[in-house]
Amino acid sequence: MKPDRVSWFRRCLLLLALGHPVAASAQTESEPIRLNYRPAAGCPDQSAFAARVYARTSRARLASADEGARTFTVTMHAGPSALGEVAIRARDGRPEGTRRVQGNTCEDVADALAMVVALAVDPQAHAPETPLATPGTATAGASAPAPPPSTPAPPASASAKQPAPPPAVVPLAPRARKEASAPESTPTRPRRAAWLLGADAALATGLAPELLVGPSPYVGWRAATGKLFDPSVRLAFVRAGTGPLDMASGKASFTWTAGRIDGCPVAWPSRGAARVVACVRLEAGVLQVAGDQVPAPQARTVAWLAAGPLARAEWGFLWPLFLDAEVGLSIHGARERFFFIPNATVYDMPLLGLNAAAGLGAHFP
């Protein structure tokens, strides 16, 4: 019995000795990744960004040239409020998702996106616990990030088959712990030049005895400089009519059709979801007046030309949508008098008129 017990005990020890390295290897298994980093001017370079990722998890490592790996494409946009995004593709090239982050500076956005990459590799990733400084020797054109510390360097005979162990990484500043996990935010204003498309409900006075109301679709462009000088332009079309109006001697209908161009050189404030722009408007079109229930009814069409200042307020409540409202003064190119024959005045057009509009639009960067 004793020899059997000793043999059984030895076999148990042997199994434990063999099982331990297997378990340890499973716990330290890492995932190969590829970083496709596109920084903007003034943002952290590729090596600095990779250091942020490796400081949050030890399970990520740089993939070798012939090794299958997920690809993380990180794009940074500098501006009054920095913006960045990371797009993840599986080993077979299929997209896995995109995450967009907005912050006060490129450093903040880089911290947050590095946490996104780290969490995609390691659900237990966390921000660095101690204050560290980003590497100072990296250059903006670095082609490969510095991998994190890992297992000791393999023997020379094995180096041809396995990637070299990553060097040590210098930790990050302590603020990364709080901001790296910042949730994705949605910008409410464009960070670069954008096209505009929308429609307003337009109102105009001084064209008919009653207020004219009609739709006004528009298309435009905006520079989005983030400064006081933030030029934009709009092209719009408007058509409105009164229908038959009761006059002293019969009925008259007014129909106004015009094209508009707005040039807006300045905007204030330079940041935030809301802004006010100052514009100059030029209008050209026709005004048609038709008589009814009178002897010898006639329709008269006159050319329309007007210009004047305009103020517009915009509020970007949900990217890429925004609401706008405007009010302006219209200086008519000529005064017209409409009358029934022989001499019954229907409407004597004033020299000045007011116009306003409000509606919904969208940005298309």
Lowest mean pLDDT among 73-82, 168-177, 199-208: 168-177
Q: How many residues does the chain have?
A: 365
Lowest mean pLDDT among 9-13, 210-214, 319-323: 9-13
Any idea of the CA torsion for 201, 207, 210, 213, to the nearest 10 degrees? Answer: -10
Cα gap 104→79, rounded to integer Å: 9
DSSP one-letter code for 27: H
Interacting residues of 42 by C-beta distance below 8 A, sequence separation 6+? 78, 106
For the stretch 137-167, pLDDT in tens is 333 333 444 455 444 444 444 444 445 444 4
Confidence of residue 360 (pLDDT cuts 50, 70, 90): very high
Lowest mean pLDDT among 114-118, 335-339, 352-356: 335-339
DSSP one-letter code for 224: -
For the stretch 261-301, pLDDT in tens is 999 999 998 777 899 999 999 999 999 888 777 676 778 89
Q: For residues 165-188, b (16+ Cβ closer than 10 Å) or e, as one string? A: ebeebebbeeebbebbbbeeeebb
pLDDT for position 37: 92
| Amino acid code (one letter) for 233 | V
pLDDT for position 287: 92
CB contact at 8 A, 207 and 349: yes
Cα gap 10→13, rounded to integer Å: 5
Region 241-259: mean pLDDT is 87
Higher pLDDT, 65 or 341: 65
Cα gap 275→252, rounded to integer Å: 41
Please give the C-alpha separations between residue 33 and each of 71, 259, 348, in angstroms, as whole numbers: 6, 55, 76
Complete domains list, the chain, with CATH: 2-179 (3.40.50), 194-364 (2.40.160.20)
Interacting residues of 172 by C-beta distance below 8 A, sequence separation 6+? 51, 52, 55, 111, 127, 128, 132, 133, 134
pLDDT for position 80: 67
CB contact at 8 A, 105 and 115: no
CB contact at 8 A, 326 and 357: yes
- Flag whether pLDDT at 196 surpasses 50: yes
- Flag whether pLDDT at 219 surpasses 70: yes
pLDDT for position 26: 41
- Tokens for 11, please give them: 């076999």
Query: Residue 100: how many CA atoms within 13 Å on its side-chain side?
Result: 7
Region 57-62: mean pLDDT is 89
Beta strand pairing call for 352-364 and 321-332? antiparallel
* Radius of gyration over every alpha carbon of the chain, rounded to an integer in angstroms: 34
Cα gap 152→167, rounded to integer Å: 10
pLDDT for position 127: 82
